[in-house]
């Protein structure tokens, strides 16, 4: 049996990928039920929780664009600013973390 995914808001088990929303809060990837994520955005934590879910199409798109931008930056920027291309590691890390820690344990 795979590891249960627990909602960070209501502390109950998330049963399917359709319910799951993952988000970044202070460099930590958290899992929520979709309705809990909406409550969390309206609550006290709203300042810390990212407004873009990680496991959504728009985040995947922004990661893709970030990778292209980082490759372009690495090729065309001058020597001293080339290291900025490594900043793209954060969104890629968050996306992979969300997949391996939460999404792969849930049924579709």
Q: With respect to Zn ion, which residue has the nearer C-beta, 15 or 82?
A: 15
Q: 14 with 20: CB under 8 angstroms?
A: yes
Provide the token pair at 96: 């992979």
Confirm or reject binding of residue 9 to Zn ion (CB under 5 A): yes
Nearest to 85 by CA among 103, 102, 97, 72: 72
Of residues 20 through 39, those in contact with Zn ion by CB under 5 A are 33, 36
Q: With respect to Zn ion, which residue has the nearer C-beta, 6 or 63?
A: 6
Q: With respect to Zn ion, which residue has the nearer C-beta, 33 or 95?
A: 33
Confirm or reject binding of residue 53 to Zn ion (CB under 5 A): no
Q: Which residue is nearest to Zn ion (CB)?
A: 7
Collapsed DSSP state (helix, strand, coil) of residue 31: strand
Q: Which residues contact 90 (CB under 8 A, 6 or more apart)?
A: none
Binding-site ranges for Zn ion (CB under 5 A): 7, 9-10, 33, 36
């Amino acid at each position: 049996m795979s590891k249960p995914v627990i909602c960070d808001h209501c502390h109950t088990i998330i049963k399917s990928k359709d319910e799951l929303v993952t988000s970044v809060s202070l460099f930590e990837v958290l899992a929520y039920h979709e309705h809990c994520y909406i409550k969390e955005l309206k609550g006290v934590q709203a300042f810390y929780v990212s407004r873009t879910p990680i496991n959504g199409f728009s985040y995947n798109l922004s990661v893709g664009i970030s990778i292209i931008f980082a490759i372009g930056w690495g090729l065309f920027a001058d020597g001293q600013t080339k290291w900025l291309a490594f900043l793209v590691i954060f969104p890629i890390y968050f996306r992979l973390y969300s997949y391996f820690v939460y999404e792969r344990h849930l049924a579709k």
